[in-house]
Structure 1
């Protein structure tokens, strides 16, 4: 008699456990749940991308400083140098390359 009671209880417990497990999985696969999971992953990816961009920007600034020191370009914010670069950049746009000139 004890044996039957034990196996009945074990079977009932296994059934409840399996039913609970299946119901959880089904709730995870509803469209609303999948949309929420996708949104969470997108937000997480956005944060990681932002962190990566900030790291790249910091690395670029550090490397630019290192190169400036190595090349002796300490006066980066010199108004005359900035104006010269601006004029040179504008002058370069006047002489744009025309691919039809070579033919």
Structure 2
């Protein structure tokens, strides 16, 4: 009985090793490499799409915060603020505490930042 057990265990282990080696060898064939790279390319395309969407969302937030789309600030001044945020700039809002929608709670850039 012991011999049958060890023979069965050895045969099972042998089959598993042969299957694993065959699968690994197939992964390194040209077809296997192409399959692996196609999956990588799809993942990169999905990541690029997510990055583009996040960039567009952030751009919309910045445009809303600066009031570029409402005509509150000159687009050239807005561009200068974005490119050099820490530089000395002329007051883009003409002495007002912010764009006209400063107290509007729907403006995500100014939520919680109320004028005192």
Provide structure 1 residue ranges, at least 5 long, that are not aligned to the other structure: 86-103
**For residues 18-97 of structure 1, what are the structure 2 equivalents within 5 Å?**
18-68=17-67, 74-75=70-71
Provide structure 2 residue ranges, at least 5 long, that are not aligned to the other structure: 77-116
- Which structure features the higher share of helix residues? 1
What's the CA shift for 1:15? 0.7
Where has structure 1 moved over 2 Å in runs of 4 or more? Answer: 73-76
* Aligned-partner Cα distance in 1 for 2:5–2:71: 86
Deviations 1:63-92 (A, max 9, x none): 1111117xxx7337xxxx89xx8xxxxxxx
* Aligned-partner Cα distance in 1 for 2:31–2:39: 12
Aligned residues: 75
Deviations 1:11-55 (A, max 9, x none): 111111111111111112211111121122112101211210111
* Aligned-partner Cα distance in 2 for 1:13–1:39: 34
After superposition, the CA RMSD in angstroms is 2.4
* Aligned-partner Cα distance in 2 for 1:58–1:9: 61
Query: TM-score, normalized by length of structure 1?
Result: 0.62
Q: Please name the residue that 2:3 is paired with.
A: 4
Larger Rg belongs to: 1
